[in-house]
Structure 1
Amino acid sequence: MPWKVALLSASDKGSRGESVDTSVQVIRELVEEELDGEVIEYRIVPDETSEIQAALIEMADYHQADLILTTGGAGLGLRDVTPEATLKVAERSVPGMAEAMRAKAMLRTQRAMLHRGVVVIRGRTLIVNLPGDPKGVHELLMAIIEVLPAALLQVKGLGREIDA
Structure 2
Amino acid sequence: MTPSDQNQPDAAKIGIVTVSDRASRGEYEDLGGPAIDAYLRQVLTSPWTPIARVIPDDRETIEATLRQLCEIEDCCLVVTTGGTGPSERDVTPEATEAVCDRMMPGFGELMRKVSLEKVPTAILSRQTAGLLGDSLIINLPGKPKAIAECLDAVFPAVPYCIDLMNGPRLETNPERMTAFRPKGK
Same topology, TM > 0.5: yes
Structure-1 separation of matches of 2:120 and 2:149: 14
- TM-score between the two structures when normalised by the length of structure 2: 0.81
Q: Report the identity percentage.
A: 34
Instruction: Look up the match of 1:19.
Output: 28
Instruction: Look up the match of 1:66.
Output: 76
Instruction: Look up the match of 1:29.
Output: 38
Question: Does the CA-based 8 Å contact 2:12-2:168 persist in structure 1?
Answer: no
| 2:51 partner amino acid | E
1:40 Cα deviation (Å)? Answer: 3.0
Question: Does the CA-based 8 Å contact 2:59-2:95 persist in structure 1?
Answer: yes
State yes or no: 1:138 paired with 2:138. Answer: no
The number of residues matched between the two structures is 161
Could you say which structure has the larger radius of gyration?
2
What aligned pairs does 1:110-149 form with structure 2 within 5 A after superposition? 110-149=120-159
State yes or no: 1:57 paired with 2:67. Answer: yes
CA separation of 1:47 and 1:157: change in aligned 2, threshold 3 A: closer
| 2:39 partner amino acid | L
- TM-score between the two structures when normalised by the length of structure 1: 0.91
Unaligned runs of 5+ in 2: 1-9, 170-180
CA RMSD of aligned residues (A): 1.9
The 3-state SS of whatever aligns with 2:23 is helix
Structure-1 separation of matches of 2:63 and 2:81: 14
Structure-1 separation of matches of 2:76 and 2:41: 14
1:2 Cα deviation (Å)? Answer: 5.0
| 1:75 partner amino acid | G
The 3-state SS of whatever aligns with 2:48 is strand
Instruction: Look up the match of 1:9.
Output: 18
Unaligned runs of 5+ in 1: none
| 1:128 partner amino acid | I
1:137 Cα deviation (Å)? Answer: 0.8
